[in-house]
Amino acid sequence: MKRFCLLLLPVLFTIPIGAQEAVFESMAIFPHEHWHNHGSSIVECPDGSLLVCWFHGSGERKADDVRILGARKATDAPTWSEPFVMADTPNYPDCNPVLFIGPDEKLWLFWITILTNRWESSLLKYRTATDYTQPGPPRWDWQDTIHITPPDSFVEDMLGPWPAFLKEFPDLIPEFTGKEREEVTADEELYFFMEKKVQDKMLQRLGWMTRIHPLLLPSGKLLLPLYTDAFSVGLIAMTSDKGQTWQSSRPLVGYGNIQPSLVRKKDGTLVAMMRENGPRQRIRTATSSDEGFTWSPVTEMEFPNPGASVEVICLQNGHWLLMYNDTTDGRHRLNLALSDDEGQTWKWSRHLEAREPGEGSFSYPSLIQARDGMIHATYSCHLPEEKKTIQYVKLNEAWVKAGDPK
C-alpha cells in the first residue's frame, strides 16, 4: 500500500488495537514548493508546543541563499505556523540544523555555515535562547562556534584500519597520475591518498557537520553527533559544562559511516547507528562503553541503507524506535522499526512512505517522543516536478505494531 505526502490538510485516524488505539496524523508543514527544503529537526517545547527547523534555499552547499527556517505548532493546533527565519549568514549557505532542549529548558540550535561551497569547509555554530515559546523566531541570547580538535590519536585511528579496508574493497583504490602516481605502488595508493589527507590540520578541524539530535547522559554530559565528508567518518563533540568547553571523541572509523544517531542501553553502553556512504549498503553501527569517547570497530546491521540518514530513539518504556529508508536503491521508502530488546531484534515495522523508484524521495528523519508518550517525526518530502516540503507525522507504538495494511 502506498502512502503519500499531504499538501495542507492533516489526516488523523485511530484503529482499535486491543486495549490501545493506534493513532496516526500526517500533514505538510507548508505547501509543496520548488525551493529546496531539507534536513529538518523537531523538539517539544516546555509548554507542549512543537518547534521544527530545516534549511531552505535554491540548493545546498553551492547556493549562497540557503538559510535556516522554522515553524511552530501550538498544542492541539490544526496546522503549523508560517515559516520564519532561525539563522541566516548573509551570502553563505547555512545547513543541517539540529534542535535540542535540555533539563534547564534552554533551547539550542546547532548548524553549519559553508565557507567555500564545499562540505569540507563547514563551520560548526550554535546559538541558545531562553525565550522561545512566543510566535515567530526565538529571541536568541547567545551565539558561538564550536571548534573541533580531534585527539592526538586521530591519524593513527584513521590509518589503522586502512589495510583491511583496502584488501576487502580493492576496487575503491583511486587512480593517480603523473609524478604522484610514480611515487607509490598500486597496493599503496589508497593508503597514500588517505595519509596525505589525515595529516592536514584544516581537514581535521574544519568540516565537521551536524545532523542528528544530541544525547544527554545521566551524568549530565551532552553528546553532539558529528561527521565529515573529508574522511567519511563520525565523531562526537562532548560538553560537561553546558557548552562552555567541548571535547572531541576518537573517530568512529568505518570509511563510509556518517551522521551517527546515538541511543543508550540500560547498562550504559552507547550504540551509534549511521548512514552508509560506502560499499556495504547497510546501516552501520558501533558501541561505546566510556560515554562516547572511544568506539568499537564499525560494523553493519541487517537493515539496508541507500546513503540516507537514520535516527533511533529510546522510548519511555525502554523500547527503541528506528526511522530509516529500507532500500538500497533510493529514498522512495521510509520505514519505522520497533525493538523491545534494545536492538537485538526488531519485531514490528511499518512504512510511513512506500512508493516505486522515481515517485518521490522521503528522507532525513527527525524523531522524538513527547512527554505525553506520543511520537512526533519530521522528514523531507520531495515529489516529482520539484514539489518539496517538510512532512510532519504524529503516531504511537500501537500504530507501528499494527504493521502495513494488507
Residue 169 has which C-alpha cell? Answer: 574493497
Q: Which helix (H) or strand (E) holds 401?
A: helix 397-402
Residue 308 has which C-alpha cell? Answer: 540516507
Q: Shortest CA distance to 112 belongs to which of 128, 96, 98, 101?
A: 96
Dist. CA 346–CA 330, nearest whole Å: 22
pLDDT, position 258 = 97
pLDDT, position 20 = 80
Dist. CA 295–CA 273, nearest whole Å: 12
pLDDT, position 15 = 45
Return the higher-pLDDT residue of 60 and 193. 60
Per-residue pLDDT at 7 exceeds 50: no
Dist. CA 308–CA 331, nearest whole Å: 7
Question: Residues 179-196: pLDDT tens digits?
Answer: 454 554 444 555 566 778
Q: What are phi and psi of 303, to 5 degrees?
A: -80, 140
pLDDT band at 2 (very low <50, low <70, confident <90, very high): very low
DSSP 208-252: -B--S--EE-TTS-EEEEEEETTTTEEEEEEESSTTSS-EEPPPB
Residue 380: how many CB atoms within 10 A of its CB? 25
pLDDT, position 82 = 98
Give the torsion sign (CA, 216, 221, 222, 223): negative
* pLDDT average, residue stretch 333-349: 98
Question: Residues 96-141: pLDDT tens digits?
Answer: 999 999 999 999 999 999 999 999 999 999 999 999 999 999 999 9
Question: Residues 276-304: pLDDT tens digits?
Answer: 998 999 999 999 999 999 999 999 999 99
Per-residue pLDDT at 175 exceeds 60: no
Per-residue pLDDT at 54 exceeds 90: yes
pLDDT, position 395 = 98
pLDDT band at 19 (very low <50, low <70, confident <90, very high): low
Q: Residue count of the chain, please give it.
A: 406
Assess contact for 262 and 271: CB atoms under 8 A. yes
Sequence-distant (6+) residues with CB within 8 A of 172 are 166, 190, 279
Helix (H, G, I), strand (E, B) or coil at 35: coil
Residue 204 has which C-alpha cell? Answer: 581535521
Which amino acid type is present at position 395?
A: L
Q: How far is CA 88 from CA 57, 85, 113, 287, in A?
A: 11, 7, 9, 36
On the 0-12 / 13-18 / 19+ scale of CB atoms within 10 A, 313 is buried
pLDDT band at 14 (very low <50, low <70, confident <90, very high): very low
Dist. CA 215–CA 271, nearest whole Å: 11
207 backbone φψ class: left, alpha, beta (φ>0; ψ -120 to 50) = left
Residue 326: how many CB atoms within 10 A of its CB? 17
Question: Residues 233-253: pLDDT tens digits?
Answer: 999 999 999 999 999 999 999
Assess contact for 315 and 321: CB atoms under 8 A. yes
* pLDDT average, residue stretch 390-400: 98
Q: Which helix (H) or strand (E) holds 259?
A: strand 257-264
Give the torsion sign (CA, 204, 209, 215, 220): positive
Dist. CA 295–CA 143, nearest whole Å: 30
User: pLDDT above 90 covers what percent of the chain?
Assistant: 84
Assess contact for 370 and 43: CB atoms under 8 A. no
Assess contact for 308 and 324: CB atoms under 8 A. yes
pLDDT band at 170 (very low <50, low <70, confident <90, very high): confident
pLDDT band at 167 (very low <50, low <70, confident <90, very high): confident
Question: Residues 62-100: pLDDT tens digits?
Answer: 999 999 999 999 998 999 999 999 999 999 999 999 999
Residue 42 has which C-alpha cell? Answer: 523537531
